[in-house]
Amino acid sequence: MKEITVDVIIPVYRPGERFGELLKRLDAQTQPVNRYIIMNTEQAYWDRWLSETGYSLPENLSVFHVTRETFDHGATRDAGIRQSDAGICVCMTDDALPADQYLLENLVRGLTEKESTAVAYGRQLPDRDCGIIERYTRAFNYPEESRLKTREDLPELGIKTYFCSNVCAAYKRSVYLELGGFTKKTIFNEDMIFAAGAMERGYGVFYSAGARVIHSHNYSGIQQFHRNFDLAVSQADHPEVFSGIRSEGEGIRMVKQTAAFLVRSGKAYLISKLIYTSGCKYLGFLMGKRYRRLPRPVVLWCTMNKAYWGK
């Protein structure tokens, strides 16, 4: 049997202690990393990290520098994958930590068990400082059961059929190149857009519950607004994927289930916070869907990624 080679592609901006821990945990994986491909935004931050940590670059780690103005969620990751010659490319973010030494092994298994699988993505677990609402959201979006998804699941899963996350996702490089890779200009959602295109061509997307990373955020309501604005912009820019598939229904279901969970947990007093943050998400999403009607200064206030709008 042909040996499986795995390269890991990581966009990095202002690396810190967590990034060093990520590299350490990846080095300890049962599935060896053939090569690390680092897509670093702004060389000065990378040089500072090297100076402060004394980190010695291993021979299998390559760094490519881009500026904030040229960074793009799709194009930058695509450039990293095209630097690879491995059979499998794993995309990760610099703040996601493998929960154990079997992360890459489980991703590879999920990706290779069926020839028709194009991408496998992992389960995101809450970090120690994660609030109870976000903990439940993680459990809602990343259940304990693995699942292979295809276009036939659209009537049941709706928008979640296409869900995939480059926080931790493995791609068969040959299939990735066959399908043209990530869209080269996108503010968000390059992973879901690719997943939808793969399904259109008959491929499946595998959710590997056993491939676990620790990754969560305690976003404020305003941060949720900005994030969901950009999320909706990506949907508005790609009607070939998202038109006719409503996202709001899934969001309402999550809010209802989270509220019920808070009541059961004796945390009903947090429902007001849930309503506030959910309202911020929904308002950001509505405005993002209609961003073309908004004045440019309003768009620049709403977005998380101001550099994107200068392109």
Mean pLDDT of 145-172: 94
- Rounded distance between C-alpha atoms, residue 235 and residue 244, angstroms: 11
- pLDDT reported for residue 194: 96
Q: What is the pLDDT of residues 21-48, one digit of tens each?
A: 999 999 999 999 999 999 999 999 999 9
Q: Which residues lie below 8 Å from residue 126, measured CB to CB, with a gap of 6+?
A: 134, 135, 138, 214, 216
pLDDT tens sequence across 211-235 = 999 999 999 999 999 999 999 999 9
β strands within the chain, DSSP E:
6-13, 35-41, 61-66, 88-92, 97-98, 117-125, 147-149, 168-172, 204-214
Q: Which two tokens stand for residue 170?
A: 């493995």
Give the model's pLDDT for residue 270.
93
Residue 35 DSSP one-character state: E
User: Domain-by-domain residue ranges, the chain?
Assistant: 6-214, 221-310
Q: What is the pLDDT of residue 242?
A: 85
pLDDT for the residue numbered 2: 61
The CATH architecture that domain 6-214 belongs to is Alpha-Beta Complex (3.90)
Give the model's pLDDT for residue 1: 40
Rounded mean pLDDT, 181-207: 94
- Write out pLDDT tens, residues 40-72: 999 999 999 999 999 888 999 999 999 988 899
Closest CA to 89 of 208, 4, 8, 206: 8
Confidence category of residue 119, pLDDT binned at 50, 70, 90: very high
Share of the chain above pLDDT 70, in %: 98
Confidence class for position 248, pLDDT limits 50, 70, 90: low
Determine the average pLDDT of the residues in 156-167. Answer: 92
3-state DSSP call for residue 31?
coil
Q: How confident is the model at residue 252 (pLDDT cuts 50, 70, 90)?
A: confident
Confidence check: pLDDT of 266 > 90: yes
The reported pLDDT for the residue numbered 32 is 96
pLDDT at 307: 85
Distance CA 84, CA 45 (A): 24
Quick one: pLDDT at residue 3?
84
> Residue type for 42, please?
E
What's the confidence (pLDDT) of residue 311? 57
